[in-house]
Amino acid sequence: MATDLIHQQSIATTVHQLAARGLRRLLVTSTAPGEGKSSVCADVGHALARSGGESVVLLDVDSFNPTLHRLLGLSARRGLGDVLEEAYLLDIGREDPLQFGLGDWFDILRAQRRTGELVVTEGDHHFSVRFVKGSIYCVIEPGAEEATRLGELLVRRDCITAEQKQHALAIHQESGRPLGELLKVMGGVAPEALAAALHDQASQRMLRLVALRQPECNFRELAEAYLPAAGGRTPAMSEAEGIDSQVTEGMRDYLRDPFLSCQVPSYLSDTDLANLKVLTAGSRSCDLLEPRYLQPFDLLVKRLARVFDVVLIDAPPVALGSPATSLASLADGVLLVVKADCTTIDNIRHAVEDLRRAGGRLVGAVLNQLDAKHETVRSPYYDALMAHVR
């Protein structure tokens, strides 16, 4: 028992050090079933929370063999599948729009990969945020001053002439195609200059949008979900991707989200430690191999990482048909649990290659259930693990 406690504390210290480096969302997986990954996840989470220094949340995403609730003596009645369906994938058309803040709208539309226009109004202020498959394509302010419009911004930066602006505006009004796209196609502006102008324009509009105290929001979906909000054709997203990242990451903390802030915590289970919470697998089926669930799951993990110091994700073993590799890229790092005298070195190598191929970052390995009486620390398993972690 003393050896187990030392083992837990050692792993907890490593996780603490990783969190201090900004690697706070950690996926815990294994090469095969029965290697003790769930026990490691639960024990390390408990050890971290018991130290009093970190707040920790454990997520059970192993729908094949959900275990965390049993290890911690919890009910699995409400959990991951429930929060994704009821908080992120709900039918917004049947909900009262007044219960959502801008942050709620942005996260829910992103989770559902919706295409359309979010109209935001308050008094004399009017904005339109256009989404394409869940990504923000542009932020429009119909009543904006001429000096803040894209054409004028580019003229004042000597990127285009006034004549080029007027010519492009005439075509824009006739065709409905985005002004920036027209200017780029006509050879009037370099892509880098256009991206910088769009970024600055979106920054200023988002600042005014965030400053609204109680805006009214309504979403209008396009009849064809694969067409943009203007022009009847799919837009090039290269410049728009910078705007989407800027809004959803750079300004995310400034967006009010009363609905999700209230809903998500209600699905977390309490433990014997105030700073340790658990999101069980729940009773509702949730296959994270389905694209429908992957995006809302990513948003959920990011939300929890803004609230808790450490997020430990108990994932299924790495295998064909397992979501572990898909989830690895959503975490800051991966901890691979390997049971001594159970897994071949080839299996370890294949698991590591699969994780890295999927974009995962292996930051640590746990050699579990090692018989200290018969194994030395320099066992072949240890050498194989360390060779892949470095």
Using the structure block, give the residue that is written with the tokens 């066992």: 379
Tokens of 282: 């729940």
pLDDT of residue 137: 85
Outline which parts of the chain fall under CATH 3.40.50.300.
Answer: 2-85+260-389
Do the Cβ atoms of 202 and 138 come closer than 8 Å? yes
Q: What is the CA radius of gyration of the chain?
A: 25
Is 192 exposed, middle or buried (CB count within 10 Å of its CB: 0-12, 13-18, 19+)?
A: exposed
On the question of pLDDT at 233 being above 60, the answer is no
Q: CB of 62 within 8 A of CB of 313?
A: no
Tens digits of per-residue pLDDT, 278-336?
A: 999 998 888 898 889 999 999 999 999 999 999 999 999 998 778 999 999 999 999 99
- Of 113-117, 130-134, 291-295, 385-389, the poorest mean pLDDT is in 385-389
In this structure, what token pair is assigned to residue 115?
Answer: 């295409």
pLDDT band at 254 (very low <50, low <70, confident <90, very high): confident
Q: How far is 248 from 257, CA to CA, in rounded Å?
A: 13
* Comparison of pLDDT for 354 and 343, the residue scoring more: 354
Strand partners, 335: 28, 364
| Lowest pLDDT segment from 5-9, 56-60, 241-245 | 5-9
Confidence category of residue 192, pLDDT binned at 50, 70, 90: confident
Identify the burial level of 289 via C-beta atoms within 10 angstroms of its C-beta, where 0-12 means exposed, 13-18 middle and 19 or more buried.
middle
- Do 154 and 208 contact (CB within 8 A), yes or no? no
pLDDT of residue 5: 47
State yes or no: pLDDT of 93 exceeds 80. Answer: yes
Specify the pLDDT at position 196: 86
pLDDT at 236 over 90: no
Average pLDDT value for residue range 203-224: 87
Confidence of residue 229 (pLDDT cuts 50, 70, 90): very low
Q: Which fold has domain 2-85+260-389?
A: Rossmann fold (3.40.50)
What do you get for the CA distance between the two ends of the chain, in Å? 30
